[in-house]
Structures are given as structure tokens and as C-alpha cells.
Amino acid sequence: MKTRFLKEEDFYKYEEDIVDCYMDNLQIMDSQSCLDITNRDMLSDYVLGLISSKESSIEGIFNDKEEYLYGMIIYDGMRFSNDGNAAQLHLAVCKDLWGKVIFNMCKQILERTYFDTLYCMIPSYCRPTISLVKKLGFKKTGYIPKALPYKNIKGEEKMYDELIYTWSKSNGKI
């Protein structure tokens, strides 16, 4: 497995793989998001916008020969100053990488990241994601109560807290 940053032409080459990453992670967007990731055109516009923006970039996770894209680490809201730099982190990976594989990949990415601070905002019901970021050294630094609507397993829409986790390059701790 290897990683590298995506260019616009990569989107067209790996479009099916990108769609699969989002289809395996339908809860990435809340139930009232204006972005419907099941709509291929909307998803295409969204991902291409992240690739071309000056405030974001996407690091793709590939097999060694770059035949398949298995996941994406999205850095959004990137900010740089003489005092340091930061970005919001998003993760979209296919089910094949869930578990130890994605943990090891994320650990390697954090070891070589050029960001001083990374943060992510996770719905409180996403226990596997919360467990992953904690194991990677992220610390809970805040929350927004009842901020995100999601449908539970009964199909009922419910508001969930949005948890804020932060990682700092200074020895991986806040």
C-alpha cells in the first residue's frame, strides 16, 4: 500500500473507486446535508472541488501498483502561518481497509504529516471512528450538543452531538 496526493486526472482514473469509498461510508454526511453522496454528479463535483481548492487536498491510499484507490484522507480548511499550520481531517475508505489496515496507514501518515495540528468532527454515534482517532493520539477537545441529524437503525431521525478531536504534531499530543 502507498499514498500520494490526488490530481484532477486521478479523479477520472479512479472515479469508480472513489464512489465505492463513499458508498461504504454513507454516514459521512448527515441526513439533512445538501450534498447527496449517492448522487454521482454531486459527489463528482464535491470531490473535484476538494482536489482543485487552495484550501484542501486529498491523499489517496493505493495498492502498490496504483491499480486501485482504496481510500482518501481529505485535508480541508487548510491554514498556514509562521506560527504553525492546521487542517480538518476527513476519512473515506472502502470496507476492505477498515480495522488494523487503516489504523496502520493513518499512523504512517501522521508520522510524516506537514501539519502541526489536525482536527476532526465526528458524530457521537460513530463509535468505530472515535475509537480509531483515540488510538491514533487524537484528544477530545470539545463538542457541539445535538448538532447533527442522522437516522438511527430504526430509521428515525435523531440529533447527535458532534465531537471535536484534535491531534498535535508536538509528540502526538495536545
pLDDT in tens, 98-136: 888 889 989 999 999 999 999 999 999 888 899 999 999
The DSSP letter of residue 6 is: -
- Cα 167 versus chain centre, distance: 14
- The side-by-side arrangement of strands in the sheet containing 2-5 is 2-5, 57-62, 69-81, 84-93, 117-123, 157-168, 139-151
* Residue with more model confidence, 138 or 97: 138
> What CA–CA distances, in Å, run from 23 to 86, 99, 147, 165?
28, 17, 23, 24
Mean pLDDT value across residues 22-46: 86
Task: Please name the helix (run of DSSP H) or strand (run of DSSP E) that holds residue 160, with its range, or none.
Answer: strand 157-168
* Average pLDDT value for residue range 142-169: 92
Q: How many residues does the chain have?
A: 174
Extents of the domains making up the chain: 2-172
State the fold for domain 2-172.
Aminopeptidase (3.40.630)
Distance CA 16, CA 40 (A): 10
Mean pLDDT for the chain?
91
Question: Which pLDDT score is estimated for 32?
Answer: 85
- Predicted confidence (pLDDT) at residue 93 exceeds the cutoff of 50: yes
> What average pLDDT does range 69-89 have in this prediction?
95
Q: What is the mean pLDDT of residues 140-169?
A: 93
